[in-house]
Amino acid sequence: APQSEAAVGVGDSLRDSPLDERSLSGPPLGRVGTNLTDIVAQRKITIRELGGCMGPIWSSYYGNCHSLLFMMDASNPTQLSASCVQLLGLLSSEQLAEASVLILFNKIDLPCYMTIEEIKSLIRLPDITACAKQNITTLEISARKGTGLAKVLHWLQDEHRSSR
Ligand SMILES: Nc1nc2c(ncn2[C@@H]2O[C@H](COP(=O)(O)OP(=O)(O)OP(=O)(O)O)[C@@H](O)[C@H]2O)c(=O)[nH]1
């Protein structure tokens, strides 16, 4: 069956979540490295998780990336600017110009210092979306509670329906 790849960068792993994982490969949770997870959402989609601290080598994986899930920790305002800089770097990459992008605001189960609207305004998300070559969608989720994950799966399903 055809398969395509999506990548998760920065923030928190979907590994904690109740996703329907039919097969799993890569190092166990908590190890440094890149984790690969196959999910079946009508077709097989391979998710490659790249931790925030692996930013310097993210670009090695751009070539095979059909869509990008960029996870931000909505409960931690001190990480926001660094995450935003990493996001801008991804969006300006020529290799990712055709990728569809889903920005996930994670940990909405925690009491947050700022509302998601405030976070979006602080990182000037409307400007980022307007200037980016990519089609950008945003969702608010809790990987721990599973909130919003059905929508993430639907997005993946839609994006990979007719992909290479
Ligand atoms: N309350 C809450 N905690 C979460 C959620 N998602 C992840 N966590 C916790 O946040 C911590 C960090 O998650 P990790 O996935 O290990 O860390 P990370 O931010 O992805 O780290 P890198 O991949 O190296 O960037 C763990 O203790 C998770 O259990 C969430 O939605 N809510």
In this prediction, residue 5 carries a pLDDT of: 67
The band of 161, judged by pLDDT with boundaries at 50, 70 and 90, is confident
Arithmetic mean of pLDDT, 79-93: 95
Beta bridge partners of 38: 23, 46
Annotated binding site for GTP: 52, 106-109
In this prediction, residue 23 carries a pLDDT of: 38
**Residue owning the nearest CA to atom 27 of ligand 1:** 12
41-55 pLDDT, tens per residue? 778 899 999 998 898
Annotated binding site: 52, 106-109
Residues making up the chain, counted from first to last: 164
In this prediction, residue 17 carries a pLDDT of: 40
Q: How far apart are CA 92 and CA 97, in angstroms?
A: 7
Q: Which residues line ligand 1 (CB under 6 A)?
A: 10-13, 16, 51-53, 106-107, 109-110, 142-144
Distance in Å, CA 91 to ligand 1 centroid = 23
pLDDT at 28 over 70: no
Give residue limits of the domains in the chain. 3-160
Q: How far apart are CA 48 and CA 59, in angstroms?
A: 13
Class level of CATH domain 3-160: alpha beta
The band of 2, judged by pLDDT with boundaries at 50, 70 and 90, is very low
pTM reported for the whole predicted model: 0.83
**Residue owning the nearest CA to atom 32 of ligand 1:** 107
